[in-house]
């Protein structure tokens, strides 16, 4: 009986250690600043910075163009959020545009702009 008790003690101990040792998932994975590179657009490769913020439980944000700081930020009109993917909707040069991104790892996203141009995003560390 004593051997069985010791056996269960070690099982409980290993479960406790494993649960403590795992790194906690980010509380809000998509919130923050993302450096986005869209390749092959008619105007060449385009760099955008998305600043995503959670307000009242809803993800909102805006896009800026680091190459031209004189341009006004582009408001993101709608965000669809899944567990590992994100769709940003905005208007650029009079066109409604969507940018679909999926999680690659903790700091990278990959997807497409309008299902035509490859896009990659990297989390900007603050």
Using DSSP's 3-state secondary structure scheme, residue 20 falls into helix
Domain count, the chain: 1
Please tell me the predicted confidence (pLDDT) of residue 4.
Answer: 45
Please tell me the predicted confidence (pLDDT) of residue 1.
Answer: 52
For 40, phi and psi rounded to 5 degrees?
Answer: 80, 20
Residue 107 Ramachandran class (φ > 0 left, ψ -120 to 50 alpha, else beta) = alpha
Q: Are strands 108-113 and 44-55 parallel, antiparallel or unpaired?
A: unpaired
Out of 21-25, 49-53, 79-83, 103-107, least confident range: 21-25
Residue 22 lies in a domain: no
For 86, phi and psi rounded to 5 degrees?
Answer: -150, 140
The enclosing domain of 117 has a CATH number of 2.40.128.120
Residue 19 lies in a domain: no
pLDDT tens by residue, 12-43: 545 554 545 444 444 689 999 999 999 999 98
């Amino acid at each position: 009986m004593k051997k069985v008790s010791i056996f269960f003690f070690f099982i409980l101990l290993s479960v406790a250690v494993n649960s403590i040792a795992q790194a906690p998932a980010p509380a809000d994975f998509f919130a923050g600043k993302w450096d986005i590179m869209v390749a092959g657009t008619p105007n060449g490769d385009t760099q955008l910075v998305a600043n995503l913020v959670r307000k009242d439980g809803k993800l909102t944000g805006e896009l800026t163009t680091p190459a031209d700081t004189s341009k006004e930020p582009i408001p993101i009109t709608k965000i669809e959020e899944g567990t590992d993917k994100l769709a940003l909707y905005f208007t650029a040069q009079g066109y409604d545009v969507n940018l679909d991104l999926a999680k690659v790892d903790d700091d990278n996203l990959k997807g497409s702009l309008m299902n035509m141009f490859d896009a990659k995003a990297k989390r900007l560390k603050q």
